Amino acid sequence: MREFLLAVLAALVLAGSAGAGRAGQLSDFNDATAEAYRHYRAAVSYLRTGNAALAAIEIEAAAGRWRDVTGRFAANPPDAFAGDPAWGATLTGIGQSIGQALTSTDAGDLKRARETLAPVRGELGALRRRNGVIVFSDRVDEVTAAMDRLWRFRHERPDFGAAGTLRELTRGTAVLEHLLQRCQEEAPAALRNDSDFVRFLDSAAEGMERLWQAIEGRDEQLLINTLRELRSFERLFFLRFG
């Protein structure tokens, strides 16, 4: 009986260790992806501002980090992604996009480099989404999507007298505010304790207050100015914490 109990205990320990290993593998993949993505975000920012030299440095760094990701995980995906038939093609495609963007940047074609890099953000999000994986970067993507929906009012004169326009503005503002609050709630502990992160979200909360004031006061200029501020915030938020 004693031998039987010891065998059962050993089996349970091994099973627990295997589960921890699988969880660790997913964590390792997310960490490795985040490291490559940090350089990707910087490259996107430098391409937007026209700084080809710094963009090339960051794209090259992203390419190197992504080769590490592919080398470690392409043939050995974490369990969460093991059933994804597009796993290998997604990893390979992202690497190719980064490489093509570097070629375009070196050739001085920053517009093409931006267009080549842009889909990578969505491809990574889609990869996680279809496999039920959520990381903080996905929450930042949701903020960007909400900001994109509101951004049209920066260029289109809002008709505050139209019920549909007012409803869309109100709904969009409420969604953006909710998503920013969720970022604060779901941020990793290291970010929640980061003074820059806290300051960013405090500034965003102030911007949201002004946006509500613009809607309630039917103030077109305040609305436009605040949307500009929030767009700048959203881009910096993605760069720093996405």
pLDDT at position 24 is: 61
Counted domains in the chain: 2
Which distant-in-sequence residues (6+ apart) come within 8 Å of 61 by Cβ? 39
Structural domain includes residue 228: yes
Instruction: Give me the torsion for CA of 132, 148, 48, 71, rounded to 10°.
Output: 10
Q: Containing domain of residue 215, as a range?
A: 136-241
Q: How far is CA 13 from the centre of its chain?
A: 36
Same domain, 88 and 111: yes
Pick from 31, 126, 17: nearest CA to 81: 126
Per-residue pLDDT tens digits for 211-234: 999 999 999 999 999 999 999 999
**Max intra-chain CA distance, the chain:** 81
pTM of the model: 0.84
- Say which CATH number the domain at 111 has: 1.20.120
**Does the pLDDT value for residue 23 go beyond 50?**
no
Token couple for 156: 């289109």
**Alpha-helix residue ranges (DSSP H) falling in the chain:** 2-49, 52-73, 87-106, 110-130, 136-155, 163-186, 189-192, 195-216, 220-241
- DSSP letter at 220 equals H
Do 121 and 142 share a structural domain? no
The reply to whether 126 and 147 lie within a common domain is no
Residues 126, 120: Cα–Cα separation, whole Å: 10
Residue 78 lies in a domain: yes
Instruction: Tell me the pLDDT of the chain averaged across its residues.
Output: 90
Task: Assess if residue 15 is contained within a domain.
Answer: no
| Token pair belonging to 22 | 């699988």
Percent of the chain at pLDDT exceeding 70: 90
